[in-house]
Structures are given as structure tokens and as C-alpha cells.
Chain A
Amino acid sequence: GENVEQHPSTLSVQEGDSAVIKCTYSDSASNYFPWYKQELGKGPQLIIDIRSNVGEKKDQRIAVTLNKTAKHFSLHITETQPEDSAVYFCAASIGGTSYGKLTFGQGTILTVHP
């Protein structure tokens, strides 16, 4: 089955700096790659996603890039703010017979220092 590796496990930055989180996946059939933000005691919240027919997607301070050949995708957060502090998860899914179930990475604890 699909396997998703996420790095780093923890990331500490100063307010205003950029943060980058990287994920690799194993199944070349994966075609949908969402990123979720999870705050303490809450469920994951989608922040951005990308599909395999697109190489890059941007939404204000957040961007995601996808390299299908290398089977990796990355989350980029610019001008970080203390409220960006949370756990971030990447995920991958395969459409069709896998019914879109998500396989998640292990998570990255992002801390933004004021």
C-alpha cells in the first residue's frame, strides 16, 4: 500500500521567516495530495491541496509544489506568524478503487517564535 514519509518532525522558526515541510510517497498511482493543519484538541483542517496534473499551487502565504517524477511534494509557508504554530500533516490518496482514503505522514510540529 501507499507509504508517506514526512520531514522534519519538528520545525522552529522566527516570526516572519519561511517554513518548508517535505513529504515523499511510494505509490505512483497517488493523484491527490492535501495538507492539513491540526491544533491541539481539534480535528485536522485542510489548508491547501494539489492534484497530480498541477505542479504548483499558491494561496496567499501558503504554497505547495509537486514533483511526480521524484514522488515528493512540499509545503511552503512564507511570512510565518505565531498563529501558524500547529502540527501539519501531508497526505496522499489514490482515486478509483481505493475510494480516496488518505494515507498521512507522521506530522511536523511547527513552532513560530514571536
Chain B
Amino acid sequence: DTGVSQNPRHKITKRGQNVTFRCDPISEHNRLYWYRQTLGQGPEFLTYFQNEAQLEKSRLLSDRFSAERPKGSFSTLEIQRTEQGDSAMYLCASSYSVGDTQYFGPGTRLTVL
């Protein structure tokens, strides 16, 4: 069990560019969550996958955001036409079952210039 991994760890981009982040959950965890954390705040829920199905999306997830989990293993989060307000830490978590402990990855810190 190597834990949840996220890549890249840091991303600096210019406003208007597209970025994509990857999350590899703990193996055999079929539930995967994305959260966003801004400075000085707690993480906020963005979206949730059970296997490859995206079952819930927060209103925070505008139409510029898209997430996929094509084979029920790793997941990607893409932000199109980035804005300065997208600057945040993007966290991924996985769990074995609903209500089970969610294990977080180290996060991807996005800075939009």
C-alpha cells in the first residue's frame, strides 16, 4: 500500500491555459474524491467517483472543470481556460467504501499567473 499519489505536485500556469492533474488512489479503493483547498481554509468537496462513474459534482465545479476516471483506477482533473481564482491546492482522496476513512494524497498546488 503506497498511499494516494498525485502529479504534478506543483503547477504554475498563465491565465487562459489548460491544466490537467492526475490522482492514483490506493489500490482496491473504488471510491475517489476531489477536493479544493484555498489558503487558510479547509478542503471543499468538488466531485466523487465510484469506480468509473462520476456520481456527484459540487456547484464549485464550473463547466471549465472536468474529471474522469476511465478505468476505475486513476483519475484526472482538467481545468480549461484557467483563471487566477483557480489558484489553490487540489487534493485527491480515496476510500474502500462509503463511510470508510478517506486517505488523502499530497495535493497539487496550482498557481495561475
Contact = CB atoms under 8 A, between A and B. Distances in A.
B76 interface: no
A89 interface: yes
Given A42-B106, A46-B101, A99 B42 contact: no
Given A44-B91, A46-B103, A105 B31 contact: no
Contacts of B102: 34, 46, 100, 102
A41 B33 CA distance: 19
B104 A36 contact: yes
Contacts of B56: 98-99, 101
Interface stretch (B13-21, B43-51, B61-69, B80-88): B43-51
A23 to B, nearest CB: 11
Contact of A45 (B6, B31, B104): B104
B48 A101 contact: yes
Nearest to B100: A100
B101 A89 contact: no
Interface in A94-114: 95-96, 98-107
B48 A43 contact: no
Interface in A11-39: 31-32, 34, 36
Nearest to B58: A101
B101 A34 contact: yes
B104 A100 contact: no
A11 to B, nearest CB: 15
A104 B99 contact: no
A37 B20 CA distance: 27
Contact of A102 (B4, B45, B106): B45
B42 A106 contact: yes
Given A99-B48, A101-B48, A43 B42 contact: no
Contacts of B105: 43
B106 A103 contact: no
Given A34-B101, A102-B33, A104-B42, 5 more contacts: A4-B42, A36-B104, A99-B50, A100-B100, A107-B42
11 contacts: A32-B99, A34-B102, A43-B106, A46-B102, A95-B99, A96-B98, A99-B55, A99-B56, A100-B100, A100-B102, A104-B43
